[in-house]
């Protein structure tokens, strides 16, 4: 017996409600509930699942695994981010802001793979085939034997590519434009996105075709549609960067076939995305005269050090207006914490000043090891005394004002030394590779004293 119910699905989090409400009770977004095709709830006559099924084969953990060779696109920065190449039959989701370069990246990957003799199908639901072709020509990839289509019906797509030898790679740009006729609803709704992705992922598993789905990102940074999309695929990739900056970072947020700590670095240029094989100095601005309010932090991306510049500006306010605090590329909660520790433990007052913090080059820092470099930039800006230009700074700051050790300090220092930095300001107990003079700090106050020459 099937019972029909109408349901309302939140377009932000995918939760289902039985009646319409202005605000989703699960994620608290407003006006996101949309009525979607009635779901059939099937009540089975059998009330348990024990018995009546087919026996499945149980194998040991040590049974032989046959993982087919990965598809290497030949674009090393891409292959690195996906864990050494695309696993055949796997499903990948590539998320990123509009205009960040997702279509460009995948067109380049598709073209290189096709040029190596792989069957590659690129389906665009957003652009006409001519538009994609023009872009390919502009990128100098017009000669690559990629098979191209502008389509949005998942049934049409799978019928077409399922009839012959299945391709090695299928690119779907984007999943939000796809439509499954198995259920009702307009493309882009949560249930359509889910149903379309389900069919495409099933095709991937059954036929051994690797499928890359492009997913749009909403303003809060999650891939539009339900989180369930991220559970359905094997690998979730994010393409990040500021649109106004040149640099783009490809990062895996989840990978069933590899680590999530390696990144691919690209620069968006006139002729598409160019690989940046040595990103360690990307985010340093041209270093000229020493200025107050900047410091250099040796960040780590996977196994690769990336030196980034942190810039702070402190503006004293005359009136009693509430001062602004703004951070770009750094968590504003963590900025507030560091300011509070500087006030409470080191006696510095930012109370009547506006504080701006910026990570240069559009880079986004999340590593707490950057705390000490952030603090140094802030103190330097406040006191108008430059941080020594030849120093890199690292250390995590505890609420007590203690400076905590950071992971892979030696690796970070080695790279810094290679790039001409002669001094390292590091947590107590850190060891360096030699060739770089270390100043060790156990407490934040010691760094402040050093900067203020006390
Ligand atoms: P696109 O790949 O269309 O982004 P997405 O698919 O993520 O929305 O890239 C869009 C931007 O990239 C566009 O604003 C122009 C820029 N771009 C270049 O700078 N150089 C190029 O060679 C190409 C193809 C795009
Ligand atoms: Mg696009």
First to last CA, the chain: 82
The C-alpha atoms of residue 94 and residue 252 are separated, in whole angstroms, by: 9
Assess whether the C-beta atom of 96 lies below 6 angstroms from ligand 1. yes
Determine, yes or no, domain membership for 371.
yes
407 lines ligand 1 (CB under 6 A): no
Give 26's DSSP letter: T
- Tell me the two tokens of residue 172: 């779907």
Residues 415 and 351 in one domain: yes
Q: How confident is the model at residue 37 (pLDDT cuts 50, 70, 90)?
A: low
Note whether 262 and 303 are within 8 A (CB): yes
Same domain, 288 and 434: yes
Domain's final residue, options 252, 277, 302? 277
Decide if 64 is inside a domain: no
Q: Tell me the CATH number at 182.
A: 3.40.50.300
Confidence at residue 46, expressed as pLDDT on a 0 to 100 scale: 57
Q: Is 379 helix (H, G, I), strand (E, B) or coil?
A: helix
CA torsion, ordered 354, 360, 362, 367, to nearest 10 deg: -90
Give me 326's structure tokens.
């703004």
H helix runs in 239-322, sequence order = none
In a domain, 214, yes or no: yes
Question: What pLDDT is stored for residue 287 in this prediction?
Answer: 66
- Arithmetic mean of pLDDT, 293-315: 90
| Residue 66 belongs to some domain of the structure | no
Q: Measure the CA–CA gap between 259 and 200, rounded to whole angstroms.
A: 24
27 CB near ligand 1 (under 6 Å) = no
Give yes or no: residues 256 and 357 share one domain: no
* Nearest CA among 109, 136, 230 for reference residue 175: 230
Q: Which of the pair, 352 or 443, is modelled with greater confidence?
A: 443
Specify whether 123 is located in the same domain as 158.
yes
CA-CA distance, 358 to 365, in Å (whole number)? 10
Ranges of H-type helices in 98-233: 102-115, 129-138, 154-162, 190-207, 228-232
Query: Same domain, yes or no, for 314 and 404?
Result: yes
pLDDT digits (tens, 9 = 90+) for 176-188: 999 999 988 888 8
**Domain shared by 22 and 90, yes or no:** no
The answer to whether residues 83 and 230 belong to one domain is yes
Residue 355 lies in a domain: yes
The phi, psi pair for 441, rounded to 5°, reads -120, 130
Give the residue, by CA position, lying nearest to ligand 1 atom 23.
272
Categorize the per-residue pLDDT at 63 as very low, low, confident or very high, splitting at 50, 70 and 90. confident
**Which pLDDT score, from 0 to 100, does residue 2 have?**
47
Higher pLDDT among residues 240 and 387, named by residue: 387
Q: Does a cis peptide bond (omega within 30 degrees of 0) precede residue 82?
A: no
- For 68-120, the pLDDT digits (tens) are 789 999 899 999 999 999 999 999 999 998 899 999 999 999 999 999 999 99
Residue 195 scores a pLDDT above 50: yes
- Cβ atoms of 11 and 190 closer than 8 Å: yes
| Pair 162, 97 in one domain | yes
> Any idea what the CATH number is for the domain that residue 416 is in?
3.30.230.10
- Would you give the DSSP letter of residue 166? P
Q: Give me ligand 2 centre to Cα 100, in Å.
A: 8
What is the C-alpha R_g of the chain? Answer: 26
pLDDT at 443 over 50: yes
The average confidence (pLDDT) of the chain is 88
Confidence at residue 1, expressed as pLDDT on a 0 to 100 scale: 43
Q: Are residues 156 and 262 in the same domain?
A: yes
* pLDDT at position 285: 65
Residues 252 and 342 both lie in one domain = no
Residue 223: both structure tokens together? 């891939």
Does the Cβ of 92 fall within 6 Å of ligand 1?
no
Pocket test for ligand 1, best of 96, 99, 100, 101 (most atoms within 8 A of CB): 101
- The reported pLDDT for the residue numbered 225 is 62
Structure tokens at 422: 């002669």
**Ligand 2: centre distance to CA 157 (Å):** 19
Write out the residue range of the structural domain in which residue 316 sits: 284-452
Q: What is the pLDDT of residues 305-320, one digit of tens each?
A: 889 999 999 998 877 7
3-state secondary structure 54-113: CCCCCCCCCCCCCCCCCECCCCHHHHHHCCCCECCCCEEEEEECCCCCHHHHHHHHHHHH
Domain count, the chain: 3
Distance CA 292, CA 427 (A): 22
Residue 206 is classified by DSSP as H
Whether 62 maps to a domain, the answer reads no
Same domain, 143 and 213: yes
pLDDT of residue 202: 96
Q: Is 259 domain-assigned?
A: yes
**CA-proximal residue: ligand 1, atom 11 (nearest):** 99
51 found inside a domain: no
pLDDT band at 4 (very low <50, low <70, confident <90, very high): low
220, 251, 277: which is the final residue of a domain?
277
The residues, ordered by sequence, that sit 6+ positions from 254 with a Cβ below 8 Å of its Cβ are 230, 235, 236, 260
- Same domain, yes or no: 26 and 127: no
CA distance 171 to 177: 13
pLDDT above 60: residue 39: no
- Whole-structure pTM value: 0.74
Count the helix, strand and coil residues of the chain and give each as a percent rounded to the nearest 5. Answer: 25, 30, 45
In the listed set 260, 277, 294, which residue is the last one of a domain according to the structure?
277
């Amino acid at each position: 017996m099937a019972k029909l119910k109408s349901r309302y699905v939140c377009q932000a989090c995918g939760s289902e409600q039985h009646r319409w409400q202005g605000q989703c009770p699960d994620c608290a977004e407003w006006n996101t509930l949309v009525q979607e095709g009635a779901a059939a709830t099937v009540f089975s006559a059998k009330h348990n699942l024990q018995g009546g099924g087919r026996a499945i084969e149980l194998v040991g953990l040590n049974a032989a695994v046959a993982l087919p060779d990965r598809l290497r696109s030949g674009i090393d920065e891409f292959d690195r981010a996906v864990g050494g190449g695309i696993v055949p039959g796997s499903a990948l989701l590539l998320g990123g802001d509009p205009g960040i370069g997702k279509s460009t990246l995948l067109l380049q990957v598709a073209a290189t793979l096709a040029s190596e003799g792989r069957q590659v199908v690129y389906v665009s639901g957003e652009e006409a085939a001519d538009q994609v072709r023009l872009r390919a020509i502009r990128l100098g990839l017009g000669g690559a034997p990629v098979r191209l289509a502008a389509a949005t019906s998942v049934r049409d797509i799978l019928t077409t590519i399922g009839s012959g030898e299945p391709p090695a790679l299928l690119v779907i740009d984007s999943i939000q434009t796809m439509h499954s006729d198995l259920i009702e609803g307009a493309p882009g709704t949560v249930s359509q996105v889910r149903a379309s992705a389900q069919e495409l992922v099933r095709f991937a598993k059954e036929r051994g075709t690797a499928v890359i789905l492009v997913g749009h990102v909403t303003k809060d940074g999650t891939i539009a549609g339900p989180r369930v999309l991220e559970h359905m695929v094997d690998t979730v990739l994010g393409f990040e960067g500021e649109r106004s900056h040149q640099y783009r970072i490809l990062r895996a947020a989840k990978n069933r076939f590899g680590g999530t700590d390696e990144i691919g670095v690209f620069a968006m240029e006139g002729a598409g995305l160019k690989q940046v094989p040595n990103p360690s100095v990307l985010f340093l601005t041209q270093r000229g005269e020493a200025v107050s309010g900047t410091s250099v932090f040796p960040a780590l991306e996977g196994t690769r050090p990336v030196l980034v510049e942190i810039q702070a500006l402190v503006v004293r306010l005359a009136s009693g207006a509430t001062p602004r605090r703004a951070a770009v590329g750094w968590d504003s909660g963590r900025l507030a914490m560091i300011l509070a520790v500087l006030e409470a433990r080191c006696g510095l007052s930012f109370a009547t000043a506006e504080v701006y913090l910026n990570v240069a080059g559009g880079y986004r820092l999340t590593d707490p090891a950057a705390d000490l470099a952030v603090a140094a930039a802030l103190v330097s800006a406040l006191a108008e005394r430059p941080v020594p230009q030849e120093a890199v700074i690292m250390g995590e700051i505890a609420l007590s004002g203690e400076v905590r050790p950071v992971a892979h300090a030696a690796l970070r220092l080695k790279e810094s030394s290679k790039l001409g930095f002669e001094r390292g300001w590091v947590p107590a107990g850190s060891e360096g590779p030699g060739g770089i003079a270390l100043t060790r700090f156990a407490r934040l106050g010691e760094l402040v004293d050093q900067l203020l020459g006390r």
